[in-house]
Structure 1
Amino acid sequence: MLANYPLSEVEKAFLKESGVDKISTLIPYLTVDNFPKLGLLTACRFLEWVAANPNGVISLPTGKTPEFFIKWTQFLLTNWDNKKGKEVRSKYGLGDTPKPVLKDLTFVQIDEFYPISSKQANSFYDYVNKFYLEGFGLSKEKAILINSDEIPLANGMSYSEVFPELKVDLSLRFREPKTPLEALQQESIYKIDQWCGEYEQRIRDAGGIGFFLGGIGPDGHIAFNTRGSHLYSVTRLTETNFETQAVAAGDLGGIEVSANRLVITIGLDTIVYNKDAVGIIIAAGEAKAQIVKDSLETEMNNVYPATVLQKLKNGRFYLTKGAAVRLTDSVDAYYEKGEWTWEKTERSVMDLCKKLQKYGHRLKLSELKADKYTSMIPDLSEDTVNQVIASIDAKIARGLERETDEVLLHTGPHHDDISLGILPHITKQLNEPSNEAHFSVLTSGFTAVTNTFVIDTLQHTKKLLDNGEIQMVHYEDFFKIGYSLKTDKDVYHYLTNVASENPEERLRGLCHRVVRALVIVFEIPNKTRLRETINDVISILKNSYDGEKNPAKIQKLKGMIREFEEELVWAHFGVQVKNVHHLRLGFYTGDIFTEQPDKDRDVEPIVDMFRKIKPTKISLTLDPEGSGPDTHYKVLQATAAAVKKWGEEHDTSELRIIGYRNVWFKFQPYEANVIVPVSLSDLSVMEDSFANCYLSQVNASFPSYSHNGKFSTVAKRTWVEQLNNVQLLLGKNFFYLHDRADVRASHGLIFFRDMNVEEFLATARELEKSIEGML
């Protein structure tokens, strides 16, 4: 494969560093260790191409995916001729390359929501102007862009006049309009189609795209060419599928918006029209591993849109190791390279059970010897499977151990991360009276609360105030000190009405807490100002477009709603409000690209929390690749820096770090060293606490692409799936005949990794190294 597809100097340098020596996929690929380094690879290749094609045509992605591509490109252009820049260039194949000039490039916008105002900060038009045309110094005059405000419609009308609800019914392409408005809409759709054809022609008249860079969606989409798109598709107005809508929900303010918004996208044939084009797809994280495998190991097929890159001799996938983990090449390399580890034995045996759909105790030695990977196990024997079974059994035994006299600090990047990650494990700890438990969410999580939820809550709060049902505001000292007292009572009142199934009183409990939050955030001195503030906030939110960044005080209000929800969850188990810590780290701003964690602003508050609590165990989400929601890996880095600093002033030799994953990432049983049984009761508690407490999340405005509903359902399915995978090795009778009741009751499993401080810091250090070169 490498001989058939000669690599550029940059690609050769990264290939050498990756250690990959066999590429058998239908499209070549390169791998790097983590998400930030993926940005470095892409930036180097882009600048290498631009240096050779200063008048070329480029098309670059939007969203969070290109964050480090943009940052590394700007870093290299700024530091091209100084020591820092020369070091990077020398190492990665740009040593003798003259500094690229970008001003004469022609930029092609890949896609856009329709309709959406080009003035909105969440439009892709605004994004490409900010980060590419201005950020890279590209020519605005030469750019080929998608501006919804300028696309001609019937009678010269605006899209808000023709599509007053911002919904476009594409069935009007094929049916008779029923009303005068539909007739206008039909004529406008035809005009949009005409515009799309002209857009396509402009690209082709420019010679086609010479350098294309795009991400890949969970369904395999590139640009907005979703699963099933024609391989010869061109620029068009089209609908999207659920997975794409779920991914876009964050940009547009919720699935309620993205499900009803169409898109204009370049087609698959647009991308490969120029046969000499460099076409690159980037993907990070194990969540993308299966679609990457399908896209790279499948013949050209419209079910996997990215297979169209097989048409380009310079078509490439740039991947993190996590995204490449399921490739046949990667699996082969995993087993064939380096010393044979016990993890390899566990993985190969468990994968064989899955492949043959056979329980472990029924595997025959002949089947082990015939398999490509289990045949590599040293000293393979009749007892090998029993040893693996015993190893997994030992991990389950660790998950059953009773923990006593521990000071537990459970942390999460967002509200609900802890619950969705390891709630059944935590409930066992909380049932032991000698343990002291604390919970800390490190960001305020305001981006997960929709404007609609806040508006509805504030309107109900006004109604309660009018009816005299929020009595605390009448107390003489409420606006001086009373607002900050009895927060545990709020929580208890709310949960009492969960128990009594009284939704009105439950909502009143939420409104009580919202009033306290309003007084704190807006420094409200009296009842009159309270009403005025509620009206002001409602007015601001009603006049905001979906997905617009809120003013700082409304962000804080939204965050405090999420904080109340978190307090409610842990109060289920008797945890007091004072033991639920809200850190609100400053890097979390709601911007498309948030800052890297800062030592004083983001690390010191975590260290200070350690000093006060003095935990003996700390749990955290473990995303060592830095590939998932960016908050995850930034919190990971801040926490790692805090643990390191705390270790300089406190003996951490006995401190344990629990690395867990939830709906975004999953451990495999051979990666984890602790397995916790999950009962139907545990599943019910998790589902009920989520539905009753995370009120802003129950309607799933920002759902997982794998499920159109609550995240608790995704977590439940994950735990059940993990049990099914382990049952294939251990057999069902291992569980229902076990001598421990909690194993017999298990209908799901949780995996996590228990580490000492040194092991944890080593896990986080590689990601830190990949970022620090830009700082």
Structure 2
Amino acid sequence: MKFNNHSKHKYFYQRSTLFNMEQAISYERIPTLIYADSDAASRAVAHEIAGIIRQRSNEGKLAVLGLATGSSPKKVYAELIRMHREEGLSFQNVVTFNLDEYYPMQPDSVQSYVRFMREQLFDHIDIPSGNWHLPDGTLPLEKLAEFCKDYEAQIERYGGLDFQLLGIGRNGHIGFNEPGSLVNSRTRLMTLDLTTQIDAAGDFGGLAKVSKKAITMGVQKIMEAKRVVLLAWGEHKATNVARAVEGSVSSDVPASYLQLHENASFVIDTAAASQLTRMRTPWMVDSVNWDRAMIKKAVIHLALTVNKPVLKLTNADYNENGLSDLLALYGQAYDINIEVFNYLQHSITGWPGGKPNADDSNRPERAYPAKKKVIIFSPHPDDDIISMGGTFQRLHDQGHDVHVAYQTSGNIAVADDEALRFAEFVVDFNERFEANNAKANRIYREAAKFLKAKKDSEIDTPEVRYIKGLIRRGEAKNTCRYVGIKKENIHFLDMPFYETGTIQKNPIGEKDVEIVMNLIDEVQPHQIYAAGDLADPHGTHKVCLDAIIQAVQKLKHREYMNSCWIWLYKGAWQEWDIDQIEMAVPMSPDQVLKKRYGIFKHQSQKDGVPFQGSDAREFWQRAEDRNSNTAKLYNKLGLAEYEAMEAFVRWKI
């Protein structure tokens, strides 16, 4: 194996990418294709796989594919299924080997990768039943070593892998080759890194239930594949994508071993690419168009790099940090500094709904109408208060007609013991007062019975999901009551895509979009607030945003939509980069405390929730730290000092 010579590689889907690969050659050590979204990227990869299958079929040979699980390849598999159904793509000549499986694991378990592959691909195509292979999670421990050796031998008997599909873990793993895995590692049983266990906690119903071990194909066998494609979607993958692509080859980031492969590529979306040099500081890679957004991005980056307020930057700072081209356009640092300082200053407002009777030419929101109709879309029943609780409160206090739309029930984020406590309370209450409601008693009794005997592999029953949904709904009502929102302005949309009972959701459907459209059409808002948090590791925020965007696109010809502005907030996982922020709403210490108490209304989400992620802090702590850090950045750049700030980016129809 040897390092790539990038200039020698040709890519049939290069034309679909947003950026020229050669631009980043001095920083990127592996070919990296960036697409506008995961849909386009997945289609390109699926078509490459289909091309291999057809080519091998024409040669009278088998196509041997290495497959991955998780959220990243799902759209690739969906496109392959479509091609099979609509274009006659046959899998009769295909043999597959999956990367990994939890251990121990029964094949029919909800968390099993056997079940995942059947549901996502195998049951929908014509692959012969004996042609797909996965590690066996049911074997006794003493037989695993022999199985792993034979697994690799089977691959060799087929002539090796023609194509290997990969994802990347948040700690940089490929397969379940965790940090520390060596480049010559073989198929084996691995103890899972804590980060990996935390990421899987949602699938298992809590960290304590997650399998601590897994069988994984080794790095060496992956590296022996003739072609390797690694997929990555979303901001939460961006840091390790950058480490793998631009950093040195290291066992700390097993995905970095792909730099040594002669025919490997990363295929990623713009969110996963956000930490690459060509995205973060594109002026360091090539000439750029110095528009307002790029100037703001460059000067803020410069100020934070040299640790100076914007107005103190000098000509030497620009020249010594790769911004001589920008300086040449303006002549003096002073002129650029003033312009960027004004950009930042004009983004700050204590009037998120617009300030009446004020000059709004340099304000982020319009002054009129003075009293606006507002819809705050909240993907889960707590995103409104966690992500924009201060702005939420201020919009109400300043007299706007605020509606809140909870897009999903959020039921899978309620712990089983919380639901059991709730169910037993209702049963005991009804028995104490001899309530004559047989149906209600049946629902709660059946739910309590199921929860007491629930197995880790079981999906919640409809009765349990109903109870968990009621818990989240009650907490959301309590928050709105705390803020002062009228009962009739609280909307529970219960979008159908969410109601699968598992972390894996259905694709967005027409009914989901229609529900959002109907609410927008009913309220006819001047402002819409929506979650633009693409770092959400479980994807619900992205689907909810897609539904809003599709709804708005269908409604954009309505007259009221001409005066509707859409503001995007971030969630519990990450904040907007400061150069992107178009509206920053400052908060006093008292407002920060009031927001905290609003978050506390969501008691089921306070301690030990299934989707806490790798961050041990509770949601209120994350929110306060994020808002505080935003204020500190503004202050560091030379703006006034505030206790905290909530940030928004405007999405234009």
Which of 345, 364, 367 matches 2:314? 364
AA at the equivalent of 1:667: W
Alignment of 1:213 with 2:131, yes or no, is no
Is the contact between residue 315 and residue 333 of structure 2 (CA under 8 Å) also seen in structure 1?
Answer: yes
Per the alignment, residue 234 of structure 1 pairs with 186
Which of 376, 399, 418 matches 2:326? 376
Which of 293, 298, 314 matches 1:348? 298
Per the alignment, residue 407 of structure 1 pairs with 373
Alignment of 1:117 with 2:106, yes or no, is yes
**For residues 618 and 329 of structure 1, do their structure 2 counterparts lie closer, same or farther at Cα, with a shift above 3 Å needed?**
closer
Alignment of 1:394 with 2:346, yes or no, is yes
**For residues 688 and 191 of structure 1, do their structure 2 counterparts lie closer, same or farther at Cα, with a shift above 3 Å needed?**
farther
Is the contact between residue 253 and residue 548 of structure 1 (CA under 8 Å) also seen in structure 2?
Answer: no
Q: Distance in 2 between matches of 1:52 and 1:581?
A: 53
Per the alignment, residue 425 of structure 1 pairs with 391
Q: Distance in 2 between matches of 1:722 and 1:248?
A: 30
AA at the equivalent of 2:237: K
1:674 Cα deviation from its structure 2 partner? 0.6
CA displacement 1:672-712 (0-9 Å, x = unmatched): 2111223333333333332342424532221123x024233
Is the contact between residue 350 and residue 728 of structure 1 (CA under 8 Å) also seen in structure 2?
Answer: no
Is the contact between residue 10 and residue 48 of structure 1 (CA under 8 Å) also seen in structure 2?
Answer: no
CA displacement 1:583-632 (0-9 Å, x = unmatched): 11222232665444443x22333233234333221111126x79964332
Q: Distance in 1 between matches of 2:216 and 2:568?
A: 40
Q: Distance in 1 between matches of 2:331 and 2:460?
A: 61
Q: Distance in 1 between matches of 2:6 and 2:567?
A: 46
AA at the equivalent of 2:177: N
CA displacement 1:617-667 (0-9 Å, x = unmatched): 1111126x7996433233223223333444444422222211111124532
Alignment of 1:102 with 2:105, yes or no, is no
Task: Return 5+ residue gaps in structure 1 as ranges.
Answer: 81-98, 154-187, 475-525, 736-745, 762-775
Is the contact between residue 704 and residue 711 of structure 1 (CA under 8 Å) also seen in structure 2?
Answer: no
Alignment of 1:577 with 2:519, yes or no, is no
Aligned pairs (5 A) from 1:472-621: 474=435, 526-546=436-456, 548-590=458-500, 594-599=505-510, 601-621=511-531
**For residues 31 and 108 of structure 1, do their structure 2 counterparts lie closer, same or farther at Cα, with a shift above 3 Å needed?**
same
**For residues 380 and 704 of structure 1, do their structure 2 counterparts lie closer, same or farther at Cα, with a shift above 3 Å needed?**
farther
Alignment of 1:126 with 2:115, yes or no, is yes
Which of 440, 453, 456 matches 2:421? 456
**For residues 109 and 373 of structure 1, do their structure 2 counterparts lie closer, same or farther at Cα, with a shift above 3 Å needed?**
same
Which of 603, 617, 634 matches 1:726? 634
1:332 Cα deviation from its structure 2 partner? 5.5
Which of 50, 54, 66 matches 1:51? 54
Is the contact between residue 295 and residue 306 of structure 1 (CA under 8 Å) also seen in structure 2?
Answer: yes
Q: Secondary structure at the match of 1:42?
A: helix
**For residues 592 and 663 of structure 1, do their structure 2 counterparts lie closer, same or farther at Cα, with a shift above 3 Å needed?**
closer
**For residues 6 and 663 of structure 1, do their structure 2 counterparts lie closer, same or farther at Cα, with a shift above 3 Å needed?**
farther
Which of 229, 232, 255 matches 1:283? 232
Which of 714, 718, 724 matches 2:622? 714
AA at the equivalent of 1:286: E
Q: Distance in 2 between matches of 1:573 and 1:70?
A: 45
Q: Percent identity?
A: 20
Q: Distance in 1 between matches of 2:191 and 2:331?
A: 54
Q: Secondary structure at the match of 1:642?
A: helix
Per the alignment, residue 497 of structure 1 pairs with none
Q: Distance in 1 between matches of 2:535 and 2:128?
A: 33
Q: Distance in 2 between matches of 1:421 and 1:533?
A: 34
1:348 Cα deviation from its structure 2 partner? 1.0
Q: Secondary structure at the match of 1:122?
A: coil
Instruction: Return the TM-score normalized by structure 2.
Output: 0.88
Q: Distance in 2 between matches of 1:442 and 1:394?
A: 32
1:566 Cα deviation from its structure 2 partner? 1.0
Q: Secondary structure at the match of 2:611?
A: coil
Q: Distance in 1 between matches of 2:136 and 2:39?
A: 31
Aligned pairs (5 A) from 1:193-212: 193-212=145-164
Aligned pairs (5 A) from 1:649-688: 649-688=558-597
**For residues 670 and 534 of structure 1, do their structure 2 counterparts lie closer, same or farther at Cα, with a shift above 3 Å needed?**
same
CA displacement 1:323-355 (0-9 Å, x = unmatched): 222222334546745631112111111111222
Q: Distance in 2 between matches of 1:619 and 1:12?
A: 36
Aligned length: 627
Instruction: Return the TM-score normalized by structure 1.
Output: 0.75
Per the alignment, residue 223 of structure 2 pairs with 272
Is the contact between residue 295 and residue 304 of structure 1 (CA under 8 Å) also seen in structure 2?
Answer: yes
1:224 Cα deviation from its structure 2 partner? 1.5
Is the contact between residue 309 and residue 637 of structure 2 (CA under 8 Å) also seen in structure 1?
Answer: yes
AA at the equivalent of 1:14: S
Q: Distance in 2 between matches of 1:461 and 1:229?
A: 51
Is the contact between residue 66 and residue 161 of structure 2 (CA under 8 Å) also seen in structure 1?
Answer: yes
1:530 Cα deviation from its structure 2 partner? 3.9
Q: Secondary structure at the match of 1:22?
A: helix
CA displacement 1:209-242 (0-9 Å, x = unmatched): 3311111122112112222322322222222223
1:204 Cα deviation from its structure 2 partner? 4.1
Per the alignment, residue 10 of structure 1 pairs with 12
Q: Distance in 1 between matches of 2:234 and 2:283?
A: 17
**For residues 136 and 725 of structure 1, do their structure 2 counterparts lie closer, same or farther at Cα, with a shift above 3 Å needed?**
farther
Q: Secondary structure at the match of 1:411?
A: strand
**For residues 57 and 592 of structure 1, do their structure 2 counterparts lie closer, same or farther at Cα, with a shift above 3 Å needed?**
farther
**For residues 60 and 407 of structure 1, do their structure 2 counterparts lie closer, same or farther at Cα, with a shift above 3 Å needed?**
same
Alignment of 1:63 with 2:70, yes or no, is yes
Q: Distance in 2 between matches of 1:547 and 1:616?
A: 46
AA at the equivalent of 1:267: G
Alignment of 1:139 with 2:104, yes or no, is no
Alignment of 1:631 with 2:540, yes or no, is yes
Per the alignment, residue 166 of structure 1 pairs with none
Q: Secondary structure at the match of 2:612?
A: coil
1:441 Cα deviation from its structure 2 partner? 0.8
AA at the equivalent of 1:257: K
**For residues 69 and 337 of structure 1, do their structure 2 counterparts lie closer, same or farther at Cα, with a shift above 3 Å needed?**
farther
Deviates more, 1:140-149 or 1:319-328: 140-149
Q: Distance in 2 between matches of 1:247 and 1:444?
A: 21
Per the alignment, residue 365 of structure 2 pairs with none
**For residues 56 and 592 of structure 1, do their structure 2 counterparts lie closer, same or farther at Cα, with a shift above 3 Å needed?**
farther
Per the alignment, residue 650 of structure 2 pairs with 754
Q: Distance in 2 between matches of 1:123 and 1:214?
A: 18
1:8 Cα deviation from its structure 2 partner? 5.0
1:537 Cα deviation from its structure 2 partner? 1.3
Whose radius of gyration is greater, 1 or 2? Answer: 1
Q: Distance in 1 between matches of 2:383 and 2:487?
A: 18
1:101 Cα deviation from its structure 2 partner? 4.1
Q: Distance in 1 between matches of 2:223 and 2:283?
A: 33
Q: Distance in 2 between matches of 1:456 and 1:697?
A: 16
CA displacement 1:172-222 (0-9 Å, x = unmatched): xxxxxxxxxxxxxxxx4x443443344344334444433111111221121
Q: Secondary structure at the match of 1:222?
A: coil
Q: Secondary structure at the match of 2:346?
A: helix
Which of 550, 572, 575 matches 1:641? 550
Is the contact between residue 281 and residue 298 of structure 2 (CA under 8 Å) also seen in structure 1?
Answer: no
Per the alignment, residue 367 of structure 2 pairs with none
Is the contact between residue 621 and residue 661 of structure 1 (CA under 8 Å) also seen in structure 2?
Answer: yes
Is the contact between residue 353 and residue 360 of structure 1 (CA under 8 Å) also seen in structure 2?
Answer: yes
